[in-house]
Amino acid sequence: MSEKPKHPLFDAYVEACNYPGKLDESAVESSLQQYLSALGVKRDVVRLKQGWTLEEHAPLDRTINEILDDFQKRTGYKPNSKKSSRAALDARAARDARDALAALVARDAQDARDARDALVARDAQDARDAAPLRFAKWCIQGRGWWWYNWEISWIATMEFGAVQRNDTKVSAWSNPLLGAFLNGCWLLFWTSDTLYWVSKPTVHTEQTNGSRRLHNDSYAALESDVENLYFMHGVLVPAFVVVRPDWITIKHIRDEQNAEVRRVMIERMGWDKFCSEAKMNVLHEDKLESNFPSIPMSEMVSEGARLVTSYRPGVEIAQLLEADRIVDFEDRPLRFVRLTDPSTGRQYTLRVLHSHTRCYEAVGWTFGKTEEQYKNGRFIRHGDVFLDPLSGGPTAQSHS
């Protein structure tokens, strides 16, 4: 069977996946009108531009209120005020929306003032004024109410299959969508009378292990007309962690539930400042001259990724530390081991049990080994279950 020819726009599609690419607003809107015509529906086509508000987009405002009504029905949440469905999005509902997005407030900070204000609002648990707009951004970009919003890069590929199958019905609507994507459209959001569209974001990435991940250490890693998102080495963090690391406090680190975000906060805060503000006491110091597995010992290592394939000689410096101002689930000071990498000098921090009293007793525990086994270098593949000092719950880990 002969191979079917490649779609004439396939290479253009691949190139268009390098965001932001070109933007031809009139061509996008013409394509979207063709798309709507093929579906047999009527909608106004409106682009959401940076700085948009709900007040200037009445159809979007109505739809967000409908979503809030649905949110109230599904969750059984009873707002404090009976005035309108918008009241449902008080501080508690805003936090629910934030958690569903797996992000904190204060994502979009043009000059960091917005980040500060949102941070203060969160700490005061009174984010009512900003909540509706933030919730709308989540619905559009965060895939919060998925049946209203489409990211079109994937659905536009229906055109390739339609052409191969000679499916003219599918091609009638998929071809215009592909055209919209090629000309700079990224997201669609439906209301009863308007189809809103968003242009592709500017993205900042770094290369690691042959792949790219979102990263920008001075501003948003994803600059979008809906909501900027901030990433450090692939980890989604609040805006202030990037643009104003001097605002990071021990309270932020202590209250943060995500281990990766905590790690980035500590890195951005600076280890010396963290130790000082956490009132970190050195309980034990040690060093180890040995052949070390060529793997990083940090929370960045995912489960199952610690297979030892090579070793390297060096002297590792270790400190067992206790933080007076950060406690575990039993109100005991948390303990950490700080390790200095023998070859790079980079420091890693491991959370360990409160009962650990020696550096390599604690380090060995993270690998499921005794201190003697760790120091003798007997690393083998195994699975282990231990208690996370912060949560108090069992956490499955695989180490080498």
What backbone phi and psi angles, to 5 degrees, belong to 57? Answer: -130, 80
Q: Is the distance from CB of 108 to CB of 239 less than 8 angstroms?
A: yes
pLDDT at 12: 97
Q: Is the pLDDT of residue 359 over 80?
A: yes
- The C-alpha atoms of residue 46 and residue 54 are separated, in whole angstroms, by 13
Q: Which residues pair with 197 in a beta bridge?
A: 47, 188
3-state secondary structure of 394: strand
Name the pLDDT band for 345 (thresholds 50, 70, 90).
confident
Non-local CB neighbours of 137 within 8 Å, separated by 6+ positions: 226, 227
Q: Both 302 and 194 in a single domain?
A: no
Mean pLDDT along residues 328-346 = 80
Residue 264 lies in a domain: no
Q: Both 195 and 320 in a single domain?
A: no
Average pLDDT, the chain: 78
pLDDT in tens, 36-90: 999 999 999 999 999 999 999 999 999 999 988 887 887 775 655 444 444 444 4
Residue 44 lies in a domain: yes
Mean pLDDT along residues 251-280 = 86
- The residue out of 199, 214, 231 marking a domain boundary is 199
Q: Both 195 and 283 in a single domain?
A: no
pLDDT above 70 covers a percentage of the chain that reads: 73
Length of the chain (residues): 400
Q: Both 178 and 327 in a single domain?
A: no
pLDDT at 395: 33
pLDDT at 292: 64
pLDDT in tens, 296-305: 444 444 445 4
- For residue 358, give both structure tokens: 């020696």
- The C-alpha atoms of residue 366 and residue 22 are separated, in whole angstroms, by 49
Q: Both 183 and 288 in a single domain?
A: no
Range of the domain at 152: 10-90+128-199
Residue 75 lies in a domain: yes
Residue 266 lies in a domain: no
- The residue out of 199, 221, 247 marking a domain boundary is 199
Mean pLDDT along residues 202-208 = 93
Residue 312 lies in a domain: yes
pLDDT in tens, 296-334: 444 444 445 445 556 678 888 999 999 887 877 777 888
pLDDT at 291: 72
pLDDT at 100: 36
Residue 214 lies in a domain: no
- The residue out of 199, 234, 258 marking a domain boundary is 199
Whole-structure pTM over 0.75, yes or no?
Answer: no
Q: Both 46 and 139 in a single domain?
A: yes
How far apart are the two ends of the chain, measured CA to CA in Å? 48
Q: Both 283 and 373 in a single domain?
A: yes
Q: Both 179 and 285 in a single domain?
A: no
- The C-alpha atoms of residue 86 and residue 90 are separated, in whole angstroms, by 8
What backbone phi and psi angles, to 5 degrees, belong to 112? Answer: 80, -10
Residue 167 lies in a domain: yes
Q: Residues 351, 354, 358, 364: is their CA dihedral positive or negative?
A: negative
Q: Both 323 and 186 in a single domain?
A: no
Q: Both 48 and 140 in a single domain?
A: yes
pLDDT in tens, 93-145: 434 443 333 333 333 333 344 444 444 333 333 334 467 888 899 899 986 66
Long-range contacts of 119-125 (CB under 8 A, 24+ apart): 119/238, 119/240, 119/247, 122/95, 125/91, 125/95
Q: Both 194 and 306 in a single domain?
A: no
Q: How many domains does the chain have?
A: 2
What residue type is assigned to position 35 of the chain? Y
Residue 242 lies in a domain: no
Q: Is the distance from CB of 233 to CB of 215 less than 8 angstroms?
A: yes
- The C-alpha atoms of residue 117 and residue 139 are separated, in whole angstroms, by 22
Neighbours of 320 (CB within 10 A): 23
Q: Both 388 and 300 in a single domain?
A: yes
pLDDT at 278: 85
pLDDT at 153: 94
Q: Which residues pair with 205 in a beta bridge?
A: 214
